[in-house]
Every structure is written in C-alpha cells, then in structure tokens.
Structure 1
C-alpha cells in the first residue's frame, strides 16, 4: 500500500546536487558530486533511514485501515418513523 518516500542509493555512498554556480573544471555535467565530509555522509544516510522508517509505518497504517474498512459491514435501515429502526 502506498508509495515509498525514498530509497537509499547505496548503503555506503551519499551524493548532493550542486545548483549554485559552476566550478572551474570540477563540476560534472549532471551536477552530482561525491560528498567530501564523512559527517555529512552519516547525516544523509541517517536521514534516508529515517525517511524509510516513516514510509514503512505509513504503509503499514494504510494497509491496516484498508483491512479494517473491508471487514466492516454497513447496514441501511429503511422504514417509517415508527418502524423501530433505532432499536437495532
């Protein structure tokens, strides 16, 4: 149920996009660079893991709600004002 928010690219690598001005000779044409700082990599991986956990919890909740909704029976009672519909 639902769509996964994000999936990690790999377990050991993280990348960021460089959108500000071009650097001389160091910017690839697609704008993707390897993250040079190990702290930044750790934070990026932790953020992706957190997003995956949140996405998984949302998917599980949606599945549970769908299952409960499908097992619920709804009844429409028709009748006049004095037919005793409220006693059920």
Structure 2
C-alpha cells in the first residue's frame, strides 16, 4: 500500500511539472500548484511516517512553497518571482 501512496503523490507532482515544461500550463497557475501541493503533502507525510528525513525536508519545503504560491493565486496575486 505504501508504494501506491508514493506513486500517487509522485504522479500529482510530475504531471503538472511535465505539462509546464511542455508549455501546456503555467507553473504559476492553480492547475499546477494544487496538484503539486497535494502530491508533495502526501509524500511528506509518507516520509515522516517512515523517518526519511531528507525526503521529508524536500517534500515538506515543496509543499510549503506550493501552498504559498496557491494562496497568492487564489487571492488574485501572482506568486513571488512570477513574470
């Protein structure tokens, strides 16, 4: 079951990333940030439960940055650094 959770979290991060790289979505859109937040939160939780501290750091920061960007977008502002 743990592998299914990890694959789900990874897919939620990787699909928007790939779409962004292919010019199909913006890295500053809710369609990019929301799945990134969900996927990184899932992976951070899994990392915390299995004491994978480096992975927890990576995914925890990814989740916090995605959350900050999503909040900015939902408030009608561009995330910092967006041009």
Query: TM class, shorter-chain normalised?
Result: 0.3 to 0.5
Bigger fraction of residues in strand = 1
The answer to which structure, 1 or 2, has the higher relative contact order (CA under 8 A, 6+ apart) is 1
| TM-score w.r.t. length of structure 1 | 0.34
Structure with larger Rg: 1
